[in-house]
Structure 1
Amino acid sequence: MNKERKNNKINIISNTKINKKNIYIIVDDIIDTGNTIYKIVKFLKKRLVKKIFVYSIHAILSNKIILKKKISICSTNTLMRKHKNIKYICIKKKILNIIKKL
């Protein structure tokens, strides 16, 4: 899938057939407003996809659209916002282990 941004509007384009039985994993480095993630999830749900997972390194969520639309996110705990739809992965131990191996 690709996103196309024109005149501040986001369009989602898929060059492949969407199979509703597949599991779709969306990975984004930073989710700021959440508009792109929202559009992708909406695009997939229109095609009756049931299993959609969203992962992010930094979930800023400045717009709160994802929280309002009840989209679940898994993110690292670099920026934490308490909400029932967000699960956090603690990266402190992982980074410390990498540093120790250097």
Structure 2
Amino acid sequence: MSLKTSQSIQFTGTSTVGDKQVATFATNIAAGQTYSNVSMNISDQATYDANKAEVRSDRDDFQDQADKLQDNLDTPADDSVSDSSASSAAASSTASGASSAAN
């Protein structure tokens, strides 16, 4: 018997215009994935229609951050402990800043 583990991240973001939440973004990221699907849920259609370019820009920024997290997970596991810790810290920092960056 042997234990196999994997790491995945549920990554979410919110796009706002002024004080209105217009859309939310979500994806799940796991090491070795070749593609992560980003979903977008529009919560205020009228504001979205009036601000499509801005919300789509937030969506693109969200995708870029998700790609960076994916790249961090795909870093070879045989790196030194200090390198792995640095990658994990960078991933955590990027993940925690995503919601505010998507505003």
TM-score higher than 0.5:
no
**TM-score under structure 2 normalisation?**
0.25
Give the helix-richer structure, 1 or 2. Answer: 2
Give the strand-richer structure, 1 or 2. Answer: 1
**TM-score under structure 1 normalisation?**
0.25
